Chains A and B, each alone.
Chain A
Amino acid sequence: MADQSQRQLPPEKHFDDHSVIVPPHKLKKAVTHAQGAAQIDMSAVARAEAALEELKEEFGEWMNEECRRIDAARRTIRSKGLNRSTVDTLFMPAHDIKGGAATLGFPLAERLATSLCRLLKHSPDPARIPLALVEHHVDSIRALVREDVKDARNPYGLELSERLSILVETFLEGELKEAYAEIAGEAAPRIFIPHQD
Chain B
Amino acid sequence: MIRIDFNRLKFLIVDDNAHMRRIVRQLVHGFGSREIFEAEDGAAGLEVFLAQKPDIVITDWAMPLYDGIEFTKTVRSSDSPVTRFVPIIMLSGHSEKRNVIEARDAGVTEFLTKPVAAKSLYERILSVVLAPRPFIRTKDYFGPDRRRSVNAKYAGPERRKGNANAEVIEVAPIDNRLQNQRKQADAGIAAKQPRAAGQAT
Contacts and interface: CB of A to CB of B under 8 A. Distances in A.
Nearest to B17: A96
B83 A44 contact: no
Counting contact residues on chain B (CB < 8 A from A), the size range is 35 or more
Interface in B113-145: 114-119, 121-122, 126, 128-130, 132, 134-139, 145
A37 B6 contact: no
Interface in A86-108: 92, 95-96, 98-104
Nearest to B20: A100
A52 to B, nearest CB: 5
A45 interface: yes
B78 interface: yes
A197 B82 CA distance: 65
Nearest to B86: A26
B114 A98 contact: yes
A89 to B, nearest CB: 10
Contacts of A47: 30-32
B162 interface: yes
B3 A41 contact: yes
B7 to A, nearest CB: 8
B50 interface: yes
Nearest to A49: B118
A21 B134 contact: yes
A3 B78 CA distance: 8
B115 A51 contact: no
A84 to B, nearest CB: 15
A50 B31 CA distance: 10
Residue with the highest number of chain A CB atoms closer than 10 Å, among B17, B145, B178: B17
Contact of A103 (B74, B114, B129): B114
Nearest to B91: A99
A92 B1 contact: no
B160 interface: yes
Interface string A20-49: 111101111111111111111110111111
A49 B132 CA distance: 26
A36 B2 CA distance: 9
Interface in B1-51: 1-6, 8-9, 16-17, 19-20, 22-23, 26-32, 46, 50
A15 B174 contact: no
Nearest to A65: B19
A12 interface: yes
Given A10-B81, A18-B162, A55-B23, 19 more contacts: A1-B74, A1-B77, A1-B79, A3-B80, A15-B163, A18-B166, A20-B134, A20-B136, A28-B129, A30-B55, A31-B4, A42-B119, A44-B122, A48-B27, A51-B29, A52-B26, A92-B62, A100-B20, A100-B115
21 contacts: A1-B50, A3-B82, A8-B81, A9-B79, A16-B161, A17-B160, A17-B162, A20-B134, A21-B134, A22-B171, A31-B129, A40-B2, A41-B4, A45-B119, A48-B28, A48-B31, A92-B16, A98-B114, A99-B17, A100-B114, A117-B93
Interface of A: 1-3, 5, 7-10, 12, 15-23, 25-42, 44-52, 54-55, 62, 65-66, 92, 95-96, 98-104, 110, 117, 183, 186
